Amino acid sequence: MPHRYDDYLKSELAPVHLEKLMALENPKLRRFVADAIELCRPASVYVCTDDPDDIAYVRRRAIETGEEQRLAMAGHTCHFDGPTDQGRDREVTKYLVEPGEYLGPTIGATDRREGLKEIRGYLRGSMTGREMLLRFFSLGPVNSVFSISGVQMTDSFYVAHSEDLLYRPGYEQFKTLGDSPEYICVLHSSGRLVNGVSADVDRKRIYIDLKDEEVYSVNTQYAGNTVGFKKLALRLAIRKADREDWLSEHMLIMGVKGPGDRTTYFTGAFPSACGKTSTAMLPGETIVGDDLAYLRRIAGEVRAVNVESGIFGIIRDVNPQDDPIIWAALTRPGEVIFSNVLIRDGVPYWEGGGREIPDEGVNYSGAWRHGKKDEKGNEVRPSHPNARYTIRLKDLTNLDPRADDPHGVPVGGVIFGGRDSDTWVPLQQSFDWTHGVITMGASLESETTAATLGKTGVRAFQPMSNIDFVSIPLGRYVQNHLDFVMGIDTPPLIFAANYFLKRKDGGYLNGMSDKHVWVKWMERRVNGELDAIRTPTGFIPLHEDLARLFDEVLHKTYTPDAYVEQFTLRVRENLAKLDRIETIWRTEVEDTPEVLFEVLAEQRKRLEAARARHGDTISPSAFTQK
Ligand code: SPV
Ligand code: MN
């Protein structure tokens, strides 16, 4: 049946591309594509299917346009984002909302009409003389109850190439949608380029239209602002999950080996640059995903899939000792995109990479030599702290065999962890699901990192590590978590991890690899095999169990003194945190569920009673085994 936009599309698309588009009998798609062409005025439109020739075209053009440069090793390329485009930009990322629509203290919101007018103004004519790409992906395994289809239009071959590595192909799946409007649309333009870099930085905008489920992104290239199916689609998926009674989360998924052949699956929510990828990559365990998870209740179980099929990971400190598997994938021939690292003679260098960084080369600031300063007089580091690599998961040797299972993997435990230098013990388990959701997930705080622009090291409210992406009223979001396990006999256990606890003198209390012991302890707890000590804030491990696991996993001695220092309850800090968290939920959130205050009040009572008996710092030996 002919659609309203057919004649226009016929006049704009070459026959071969028109045919690929028209094979998808979807009216909303035709409207979206026609509107985008009319707005951005590209010189031509290339419709990519799942065909390897189309995918190879994108890869080739990324080099030809200069968005990526070939490196010495076969298949390796590098890309630079502009100096002010090195992380997600919260300031200019906004939801477009109808008057009166309430979301809470997440990223900003702006009036839908005005926002559309502004961003569409910036997109107008933005692709003049350039080629527009249309790409289709499946978020989640193809043909699965979990999956969402996504369509991206972009003038960036780097963005489209990154998506090849990060998402499962979705053109064929799109055909099965028929005329359904249930998919996510993203329109991106890098805007005016100077030396291949978005030039109109003050007109950078990322706007999420909640009504039409479309995302607009312009005058930026950093993947977190442009790759449609990472954080842009996450914001829309959270709304869909809310409507359909499941969860869309900023979580890793991993398999942890137990005794015998047992694998227990965990999801883990950590804010950006707080150990999510390194947890998912622990040696000897298996990775399902490192960033985004969809969770559903299926046949009395919680099950999860990875939205993605690749990693856009922080490269800093990836070296043969700490990240041997990623290191191997980054140093052998194969498809890898390096971004914002230092390049010298076709070789990428980054901080903490275990190889000596040369004194000069090329990085995101242009020609670089040791001691270079920016306009503000600050030293330009050789590789940006948020420099990244993009790879396919299947190029890793530790990919879980069930990573593409359309039914997902069963979730035994959920981990919440932030960058917290002074409050939480390194590891604890909640008393039950509600206690975990409220005192761990909804109470998460984390010090800011280079993954977002702005000052780093500032303690910030980070419920479920998802605050930048929550697109429904925040109280409702927490209520959805509370309700999620209704009807499930044995819900996943909830754990809180803190990899960043420091001594008073400022040194970290734990080594980087200690997290491996923590996940092994969680695995045993999920399987009911170890006892624990009940403290006012949760169950903590026994020294003897950790000592055994340290020996087994890391071949290290774990002394009683180290244990006491790490697991001493810091009552004052925990009470101060309760004050901060309660204030936010009371004063900044309009729809906080009452149970949240009740559960926080119970925690406060337990902490105060313990303080009355034992003082402000309480050794684990003061509490009883349970
Ligand atoms: C993160 O910052 O959480 C990331 C990278 O996973 S991105 O969101 O794409 O910037
Ligand atoms: Mn992330």
- Fold assignment, 248-311+401-622: Phosphoenolpyruvate Carboxykinase; domain 3 (3.90.228)
Query: What phi and psi values does residue 137 have, to the nearest 5 degrees?
Result: -135, 160
Least confident of 153-167, 365-379, 514-528, 536-550: 365-379
Chain segment 202-248, per-residue pLDDT in tens: 999 999 999 999 999 999 999 999 998 999 999 999 999 999 999 99
The pLDDT assigned to 2 comes to: 60
**Per-residue pLDDT tens for 461-470?**
999 999 999 9
Closest by Cα among 152, 167, 164, 276 to 226: 152
Indicate which residue of 40, 48, 185, 274 is catalytic: 274
In angstroms, the Cα distances linking 299 to 228, 264, 483, 489, 526 are: 32, 18, 16, 11, 19
Provide mean pLDDT across the span 427-448: 97
Atom of ligand 1 minimally distant from the CA of 271: 3
What is the residue with the minimal CA distance to atom 3 of ligand 1?
272
* E strands, 8-141, in order: 44-47, 69-70, 76-79, 93-97, 108-111, 131-139
pLDDT digits (tens, 9 = 90+) for 272-297: 889 999 999 999 999 999 999 999 99
Grouping H, G, I as helix, E, B as strand and the rest as coil, residue 602 is helix
Cα 50 from Cα 173, distance rounded (Å):
10
Say what the pLDDT of residue 1 is: 54
pLDDT digits (tens, 9 = 90+) for 121-146: 999 999 999 999 999 999 999 989 99
Centre of ligand 2 to C-alpha 86, Å, is 14
Pocket test for ligand 1, best of 162, 279, 312 (most atoms within 8 A of CB): 312
Q: Looking at the CA of 162, name the nearest ligand.
A: 1
In contact, 494 and 440? CB cutoff 8 Å: yes
The conformation of residue 356, written as its DSSP 8-state character, comes to P
Distance CA 459, CA 462 (A): 9
Domain boundaries, the chain: 3-67+89-245, 248-311+401-622
Q: Answer whether 272 contacts ligand 1 (Cβ < 6 A).
A: yes
> Do the Cβ atoms of 287 and 393 come closer than 8 Å?
yes
Of all ligands present, the nearest one to the C-alpha of 269 is 2
> Which atom of ligand 1 sits closest to the CA of residue 291?
6
pLDDT at 550: 98
Q: In percent, how much of the chain has pLDDT > 90?
A: 92
Q: How far apart are CA 624 and CA 626, in angstroms?
A: 6
| Residue that is written with structure tokens 């754990």 in the block | 495
User: Atom 7 in ligand 1: which residue has the minimum CA distance?
Assistant: 224
CA 162 to ligand 1 centroid distance, Å: 13
What letter does residue 290 receive in the DSSP assignment? Answer: S
Buried b / exposed e across 181-196, counting CB within 10 Å, b at 16+?
eebbbbbbbbbebeeb
CA of 318 to the centre of ligand 2 (A): 17
Domain 3-67+89-245, CATH number (from 3.40.449.10, 3.40.50.1100, 3.90.79.10, 2.60.210.10): 3.40.449.10
Rounded to the nearest angstrom, the distance between the alpha carbon of 312 and the centre of ligand 1 is 7
User: Tell me, what DSSP letter sits at residue 66?
Assistant: T
Question: Over 90: is that where the pLDDT of 625 sits?
Answer: no
Mutate to test the pocket of ligand 1, among 90, 230, 277 (most ligand atoms within 8 A of CB): 230
pLDDT for 584-606, tens place per residue? 999 999 999 999 999 999 999 99
Q: Quick check: CB of 85 below 6 Å from ligand 1? A: no
Residue 626 predicted with pLDDT over 80: no
What SS3 state is found at 385?
Answer: coil
Contact 316 CB / ligand 1 (< 6 Å): no
- Provide the pairing of β-strand 205-209 with 93-97: parallel
* Mean pLDDT value of segment 387-395: 97
Phi and psi at 580, nearest 5°, equal -60, -45
pLDDT band at 620 (very low <50, low <70, confident <90, very high): very high
Substitution candidate for ligand 1 out of 231, 314, 468 with most atoms within 8 A of CB:
231
Looking at residue 449, what is its pLDDT? 85
Atom of ligand 1 nearest to the CA of 452: 2
The strand pair at 148-154 and 131-139 is best described as: antiparallel
3 state SS of 555: coil
Ligand closest in space to the Cα of 339: 1
For 342-363, what is each residue's pLDDT tens digit? 999 999 999 999 999 999 999 9
Residue 78 annotated among the catalytic residues of the structure: no
SS3 509: coil
pLDDT value for 105: 87
The torsion defined by the Cα of 159, 161, 162 and 167, in degrees rounded to 10, comes to 110
The answer on pLDDT for 393 being more than 70 is yes
Q: What average pLDDT does range 417-431 have in this prediction? A: 96
Coil, strand or helix at 361: strand
* Residue with CA closest to ligand 1 atom 10: 224
Asked whether 318 and 349 are in contact (CB, 8 A), the reply is: no
Q: How far is the CA of 192 from the centre of ligand 2 (A)?
A: 27
When pLDDT is averaged across residues 607-612 and rounded to a whole number, the result is 98
The token duo for 197 is 């870099």
Confidence band, pLDDT 50/70/90 cuts, at residue 107: confident
Between 601 and 448, where is the model more confident?
A: 601
At 484, phi and psi to the nearest 5? -60, -35
> What are the pLDDT digits (tens) for 142-167?
989 999 999 999 999 999 999 999 99
Q: For ligand 1, is residue 280 a contact (CB within 6 Å)?
A: no
384 has pLDDT over 80 = yes
Distance 271 CA to ligand 2 centre (A): 7
CA of 458 to the centre of ligand 2 (A): 18
User: Same topology for domains 3-67+89-245 and 248-311+401-622, yes or no?
Assistant: no
**Which pLDDT band holds residue 505 (cuts at 50, 70, 90)?**
confident
225 Cβ below 6 A of ligand 1? no
Instruction: Give exposure, 475-486, as e/b (b: 16+ Cβ within 10 Å).
Output: bbbbbbbbebbe
**Which of 187, 190, 186 lies closest to 203, judged by CA?**
190
- Any alpha helices (H) in 286-431, and if so which ranges? 324-330
Query: Based on the number of CB atoms within 10 Å of its own CB, is 6 exposed (0-12), middle (13-18) or buried (19 or more)?
Result: middle
Q: Which tokens sit at 555?
A: 């071949």
Tell me if 402 CB under 6 Å of ligand 1.
no
Is 339:78 a contact under the CB 8 Å cutoff?
Answer: yes
Residue in the structure block whose two tokens are 């990244």: 388
